[in-house]
Chain A
Amino acid sequence: NAGVTQTPKFQVLKTGQSMTLQCAQDMNHNSMYWYRQDPGMGLRLIYYSASEGTTDKGEVPNGYNVSRLNKREFSLRLESAAPSQTSVYFCASSQGAGANVLTFGAGSRLTVL
């Protein structure tokens, strides 16, 4: 099983450009998440989707939008990229919204110039 697949793995953008990070899971999980990882900041939750059809803001949602396209897919969009959004982005999924283990994708490294 592939688990959680993220694309692209690397991306360089110019300030003001837009892009979408794609995430798909094949574990029939109900909940999906987007995190960003910055040095000294740990993993911070951007948005999550407890179940298909719902999305909610996390700790750092400003500058991002998400779409839960179906049960498998959860995308993260940067409408107008800023240098502060340079980071490593991880998608994760879990069986449910409760005390469930997170399975992470391999990450997407985004640089905004």
Chain B
Amino acid sequence: GQQVMQIPQYQHVQEGEDFTTYCNSSTTLSNIQWYKQRPGGHPVFLIQLVKSGEVKKQKRLTFQFGEAKKNSSLHITATQTTDVGTYFCAGRGGYQKVTFGIGTKLQVIP
């Protein structure tokens, strides 16, 4: 079945450092979504990538979708304490088949 692997599982950074989380799928994806979950909260949609090689930016966040549509990354430039949380990728393969990665828990040290 479809598997989405996400690394690292945990990341501690000093405030101002950059952060990257990676997702890799065992199968080709039709699209990939990214969600953020604040501590004690629920996942909130950040962005969706659909096209091969697509790059999207949201302020300090840069999202990439690989050329083969099997991997993706989220990069945060100059982290802030407001970036704390768990970042999930969610890959969509066949109809309705959405698989979440295990998430990357980001801690930002002031």
Contact = CB atoms under 8 A, between A and B. Distances in A.
Contacts of A45: 98
Interface residues of B, number: 23
Interface string A71-104: 0000000000000000000100000011101111
Contacts of A53: none
Contacts of B45: 101-103
A41 interface: yes
B85 interface: no
Among B48, B50, B98, residue most surrounded by chain A Cβ atoms (within 10 Å): B98
A90 to B, nearest CB: 6
A44 interface: yes
Contacts, number: 47
A63 to B, nearest CB: 20
A44 B42 contact: no
Nearest to B2: A59
Given A90-B43, A104-B44, A106-B42, A42 B88 contact: yes
B28 interface: no
Contacts of B41: 106
B100 A43 contact: yes
A34 interface: no
B48 A43 contact: no
B68 to A, nearest CB: 18
Contact of B33 (A44, A90, A101): A101
A97 B95 contact: yes
Interface of A: 35, 40-45, 48, 50, 56, 90, 97-99, 101-107
